[in-house]
Amino acid sequence: MALPNQLLGNCTVVDARVLDGVSPQKDAGVWIDGDRIAATGPYAEVAARARAAGPVVERDLNGAYVTPGLVNMHTHFSLSLPGSGGDGVKDLGPHDLALYMADGARRTLDCGVTTVRNVAEKDHADFALRRAIRAGWVPGPRMYTAGRALVCTGGHGHESGDTMECDGPVGFRHGVRSQIKAGADLIKVMISGGIAGEHEGIATPQLFADEMAAVIETAHAWGRKVTAHAGPAEVIAAAVELGLDCVEHGYQLTPQVAARMAERGTALVPTLLVTRCKEFFDELGVPEWMQCRSLGAGPRHLESFAMAVEAGVEILLGSDMPPFWSFEGTNATVRELENLAEQLGPARALHAGTRGPIRWLGAEDDLGTVEEGKYADLIAMDDDPLDDTSAFRGVRWVMKGGRLVRDEEQR
């Protein structure tokens, strides 16, 4: 019997149906050797190869559907919205904050989210957490992180330690380089207002063109992609022309701007939950002004998302709400994926939560599909997610890098 977080070594997963976004496989075997997939295919063939290589631990998943682990591309383990709940996070000391974030990482992995993209975390605690996860000191997903988000003086999110205030092209170039120096995998920049800033609106532009150009040019010169918190179409359009790689939220797109995003290869992480989560806001004591702004933006947000889908923009899964948060009968990651599926359909939603994000992260050689040579980051559920995305509500088995981190049958 394998225990949670035990490296299974030469392991064969048996009697599974593998869905990896490439080609569905029934009655499949997945041979896991160490932390990587050694082979996939018909069970009898894979099992024979594995047994020939040495002693085998076989795990019968009883016909479960196996997919790559989910990827959440808009994560904040140190999120602190306005209100009493957020104030409690802001008041944490550095040691408490690290432990709080580590607990969030553990809970995220337990949900079947094996990779995250952190897009603004407090005081560079994310880099310590990333090191701890890689070293095996704490359980958690693979982390790609932006460090602190860059923002103009007084701009969106300036109140917290998860942003760095900059002004002018020189200031923003320095901001990019400072995050890369700290270890950032990507750069996040706030180019407009949002729903959580009391003295701004969603449509408030916050960077001039030369400042946006400085961020994108500098980051690209260092081999880093740039994602931008952005709401209004005009601001997004200007950034897309400058080479922006990804838009977060995109509350107020137009068909023309969505079409240009598709042409330029600019992805969208729509974070649909943030404009339809009153229960979450109430739980955190979020003030009325923010709730009204957020929930009031919902209808236009959905229209904007539909425009992006129609234009062929690459859609990527990201919740903004903590990935593990219990919400509407499931966790925030799955609930966001269900919202995406209403427009995308189950197959494209699976792509948006697995292969698409991994490709954006540049990690497709190692992750994103169930194929030979890739890391054994796998999840299993009893229902078919290609029939209904809500199948992910039933994730019962989670593996990351060949280590079993959740097994409902052993609990």
Tell me the per-residue pLDDT of 224-272, one tens digit each, with 9 for 90 and over.
Answer: 999 999 999 999 999 999 999 999 999 999 999 999 999 999 999 999 9
Is position 1 within any domain?
no
Q: Are residues 315 and 269 in the same domain?
A: yes
Q: Are residues 284 and 338 in the same domain?
A: yes
**pLDDT over 70 (residue 27):** yes
Q: Are residues 222 and 309 in the same domain?
A: yes
Q: Are residues 54 and 82 in the same domain?
A: no
pLDDT of residue 408: 85
Q: Are residues 86 and 49 in the same domain?
A: no
Is position 150 within any domain?
yes
Is position 48 within any domain?
yes
Is position 385 within any domain?
yes
Q: Are residues 35 and 49 in the same domain?
A: yes
Residue range 202-214, pLDDT digits in tens: 888 999 999 999 9
Percentage of the chain exceeding pLDDT 70: 96
Residue range 312-364, pLDDT digits in tens: 999 999 999 999 999 999 999 999 999 999 999 999 999 999 999 999 999 99
Q: Are residues 32 and 76 in the same domain?
A: no
Residue 6 · residue 398 · CB < 8 Å? no
Q: What pTM was estimated for this model as a whole? A: 0.95
Is position 119 within any domain?
yes
**pLDDT over 50 (residue 3):** no
Query: Residue 29 pairs with which residues in a beta bridge?
Result: 41
**pLDDT over 70 (residue 273):** yes
CA atoms lying within 13 Å on the CB side of residue 200: 24
Q: Are residues 112 and 202 in the same domain?
A: yes
Q: Are residues 48 and 74 in the same domain?
A: no
pLDDT of residue 201: 80
Q: Are residues 18 and 30 in the same domain?
A: yes
pLDDT of residue 1: 42
Q: Are residues 161 and 265 in the same domain?
A: yes
Residue 216 · residue 243 · CB < 8 Å? yes
* CATH number, domain containing residue 349: 3.20.20.140
Q: What is the largest CA-CA distance in the chain?
A: 66
Is position 337 within any domain?
yes
Is position 182 within any domain?
yes
Total domains in the chain come to 2
| Residue ranges making up the domain that contains 396 | 6-69+369-410
- Which one of 42-46, 48-52, 303-307 scores highest in mean pLDDT? 303-307
The last residue of a domain, from among 343, 361, 379: 361
Residue range 364-386, pLDDT digits in tens: 999 999 999 999 999 999 999 99
Mean per-residue pLDDT, 17-32 = 82
* CATH number, domain containing residue 44: 2.30.40.10
Q: Are residues 113 and 231 in the same domain?
A: yes
| CA–CA distance, 251 with 247 (Å, rounded to integer) | 10
Is position 272 within any domain?
yes
